[in-house]
Amino acid sequence: MAIKGFNYQEFAQNLTQQAVELVPQDFSEPEKQYVVNTLLNFSALAGEALYNDTESNFTADQAMMITQIIAEWAFHKSVDLIRSKLPQEFWDPIMQKIAFTIFEIAKQTFKQGLQQDQILQLIEHHVKKTYLDAIEELKQKGLIDEELSEIASKQSNIDSMMQQMSEEQAEQQQVQQSSSDEPQPQTSPVQGGSSPKIMKLATVALLFQKMKQEKVQTFLDKFNPDDAQTVIKYMRMPDLDTRVSVPTTLKCLNEIRTNLPKPQELSPSKIVLKLQKVTEGIERAQLEQMLKPERMKVKRLVFNALEGEFYEVAPKVANIIATHIQDSV
């Protein structure tokens, strides 16, 4: 049965229309059109596939979230491809690989019931890896040279946007410190006229509405008391998701990941111990079956850990994988 309440065509159009203002102004008209068309095409295709998926039993909210994630990354990576100076003939094949990767990872993680921040971390990891692997493949085939490969590999619009928003937030905090204005979320909608800080707090509230209460409280304890109260007020708004614009959500979700408390970096030895603990009591055959759909590096990380060895991957990535496995068993 199709997903009730999920009009994927209208949703894809809405995402596209509201993202137009985010396209870099220094792009030519054909380049701007490529970004817009790519976002529309991939979000519409993903939405249609989810709408017609009769096995996964996704809710309308889940389907919209997956579609929105694909739209966000379609935007960022199409911008990266334009800035990469790669020949345009390579853009679509790379975007297709990225979109497919997001779609599959998102479906798996939502089915497994992972928390939203874990889903976003895993998708970001796989998107960046797919992008870099595609560039490396072009270089290995002799289709691009080392210099172009290096330029393309360094492109990351999402990181640039996060840095820019971080700088804007620092400026806003200075302004807010000298201002006594109090927001009134119960009586006025969250609109473009609100200050950037209020928009960010509203987006935090939107994210917290979907999280477990005990985890929300842990994060709120780290907030400035006034900001925490503002977030709580917004969380009490049942129609908050209709009051925060899509481009605001896309932009602010990225910044939230930099502002919320981050886990401490784990040493390789701690990750090995964590993996040994989460796989304790699981038969090897069962573990092999569970890891069957995973990439080879993931399997090596886990089975090396069982032997007390650390497979050389970035500690942050290894920790995400360990957490993913912990939530899967």
DSSP codes, 152-164? HHT--HHHHHHHH
**What integer is the mean pLDDT of 92-107?**
92
**pTM, rounded to two decimals:** 0.52
- Mean pLDDT over the full length of the chain: 78
- b/e per residue, 122-149, with b = 16+ CB within 10 A? bbbbbbbebbeebbeebbeeeebeeebb
And the tokens for 91? 């853009």
**Range of lowest pLDDT (64-68, 187-191, 254-258, 261-265):** 187-191
DSSP SS3 for 187: coil
Task: Report angle CA 41, 70, 115 to the nearest 5 degrees.
Answer: 160
pLDDT band at 185 (very low <50, low <70, confident <90, very high): very low
Asked whether residue 251 carries a pLDDT value surpassing 80, the answer given is: no
pLDDT band at 257 (very low <50, low <70, confident <90, very high): low
**Residue position matching structure tokens 């204005």:** 181
* Bigger pLDDT: 42 vs 252: 42
DSSP SS3 for 86: coil
**Range of lowest pLDDT (40-44, 104-108, 116-120):** 116-120
% the chain with pLDDT above 90: 26
Q: What is the dihedral of CA 286, 287, 292, 297, to 10 degrees?
A: -170
And the tokens for 99? 């979109």
**What integer is the mean pLDDT of 205-209?**
73
- Please tell me the predicted confidence (pLDDT) of residue 283: 82
- Please tell me the predicted confidence (pLDDT) of residue 194: 53
Best CA proximity match to 207, nearest among 262, 263, 158, 260: 260
Query: From residue 306, how far is each of 88, 300, 301, 309, 317 by CA, in Å?
Result: 45, 10, 9, 7, 18
Asked whether residue 130 carries a pLDDT value surpassing 70, the answer given is: yes
pLDDT (tens digit per residue) in 46-91? 999 999 888 888 888 889 999 999 999 999 999 999 999 899 999 9
pLDDT band at 176 (very low <50, low <70, confident <90, very high): low
Asked whether residue 13 carries a pLDDT value surpassing 80, the answer given is: yes
What sign does the CA torsion over 231, 236, 237, 242 have?
Answer: positive
And the tokens for 298? 């993931």
Best CA proximity match to 134, nearest among 96, 94, 101: 94
- Please tell me the predicted confidence (pLDDT) of residue 183: 46
**Range of lowest pLDDT (108-122, 133-147, 150-164):** 150-164
